[in-house]
Amino acid sequence: MPSYLIGDVQGCYDELCALLQKIKFNPKQDKLIFAGDLVNRGPKSLEVLRLVKSFAKSAKVILGNHDLYLLAVAFGYLPLGKKDTLQQILNAPDKDELMKWLRHQRFLYSHKKHIVTHAGIPPIWSLKKAKHLALELEFVLQTDMCFQHFMSNLFGNEPNQWNNELEGINRWRCIANYFTRMRLCNAEGRLDLNFKGELMQKPNGFDAWFNFPNPKIDSEYILIFGHWAALNGKTNNPRCINLDTGCVWGGQLSAYCIDNKEFYRVDAMNLIKENH
């Protein structure tokens, strides 16, 4: 009964099917944990959602920034952009069920000493803190009044630093930005959400979140994340595994088996020539 972690699918349904074949996934016995961004940019987001939902308890889904964006669009709080490939979902007869299911997914999942989030955990949060804040945001998604308020104020880079006194929408957006959009931060946990380049060009005082020590987590857990295709799956830190190998950009879709510690990868079949 192996458990597999899978990186950013982003609508790459054909590659996901090939990967599941490669690992000989058996939904009756095996477990899949998706590291977020199931949808968008790729060609078959609707098919990906339906397939993963059909696995029911055999698949756990962590929410990424594109998944949150889909919710905001589906509930009418944000418009579709030119690069978005979510229209099929919006037209689907099972849209409401799919969105309800998506609203009940998680921001953090802990399994056999592995912790999965979409973007990572900032060095200023203990695991206990991260778990609490993930639960808090999951409650927001599942509670209609909070959900509407959150979705209508989803976008924004501020506040860019966590503090325990934050309240309401600023607090929720800040938690969401750490869990789903973080790449660079500084030692105090301040985020730089504009940075998209190579790590070599990082601004002074900032670094990849996983290059700052988080001693308790580092000593006991393996952190798994997606979101950052430019890393090419490399963190130079054996306790931090990045599974976003840019399938949607012509790279690969990656899975990691917790039990035998092996990686499984399939090459992209559809190349999208676009800069992310």
CA dihedral (158, 161, 167, 168) positive or negative? positive
**Nearest residue (CB) to Mn ion, 36 versus 123:** 36
- Closest distance of CB 65 from Mn ion, Å: 4
Q: Which is nearer to Mn ion, 248 or 266 (CB)?
A: 248
The number of CA neighbours under 13 Å toward the Cβ of 70 is 31
Which of 65, 117 has the CB closer to Mn ion? Answer: 65
Which residue from 10, 40, 45, 65 is in contact with Mn ion, where contact means CB under 5 A?
Answer: 65
CB of 28 to Mn ion, least distance (A): 30
64 forms part of the interface with Mn ion (CB under 5 A):
yes
* Cα–Cα dist 48/52, whole Å: 6
Q: 41, 173, 227, 265: which one contacts Mn ion (CB under 5 A)?
A: 227
Q: Token pair of 250, please?
A: 């012509």
**CB-wise, 222 or 243, nearer to Mn ion?**
243
Q: How many residues bind Mn ion (CB under 5 A)?
A: 4
CB of 124 to Mn ion, least distance (A): 21
Distances in Å between the alpha carbon of 60 and those of 33, 52, 153, 212, 258? 5, 9, 26, 28, 14
Give the nearer residue to Mn ion in terms of CB position, either 30 or 229: 229
Q: Identify any residues that bridge with 254 across adjacent strands, giving them in sequence order.
A: 265
Residue closer to Mn ion by CB (options 25, 108) is: 108
Quickly tell me which residue has 């592995």 as its tokens. 114
Does 41 engage in binding with Mn ion (CB under 5 A)? Answer: no
177 sits near Mn ion (criterion: CB under 5 A): no
Quick check: 213 and 226 in contact, CB under 8 A? no
Residue of 104, 106, 90, 243 lying closest to 175 (CA atoms) = 106
**CB of residue 10 vs Mn ion: minimum separation in angstroms?**
8
The smaller minimum CB distance to Mn ion, of residues 14 and 37, is found at: 37
CB of 227 to Mn ion, least distance (A): 4
Q: How far apart are CA 259 and CA 162, in angstroms?
A: 35
CA 171/CA 177 separation, integer angstroms: 10
Residue 120 corresponds to which tokens in the numbers above? 């990572």
Bridge partners, 133 (sequence order): none
Q: Using CB atoms within 10 A of its CB, is residue 114 exposed (0-12), middle (13-18) or buried (19+)?
A: middle
Q: Cβ of residue 259: shortest distance to Mn ion, in angstroms?
A: 26
Say if residues 160 and 176 touch (Cβ distance below 8 Å): no
Q: Does 242 bind Mn ion (CB under 5 A)?
A: no
Q: To the nearest whole angstrom, how small is the minimum distance from the Cβ of residue 70 to Mn ion? A: 12
The mark string for 142-171 relative to Mn ion (x by CB under 5 A, - otherwise) is ------------------------------
Report the residue closest to Mn ion, judged by CB: 227
Considering only residues 10 to 39 of the shown chain, the ones binding Mn ion according to CB under 5 A are 37
Identify the residue whose tokens are 């798994």: 224
Dist. CA 264–CA 19, nearest whole Å: 7
> Please, what is the minimum distance in Å from the beta carbon of residue 122 to Mn ion?
16
Interface with Mn ion (CB under 5 A): 37, 64-65, 227
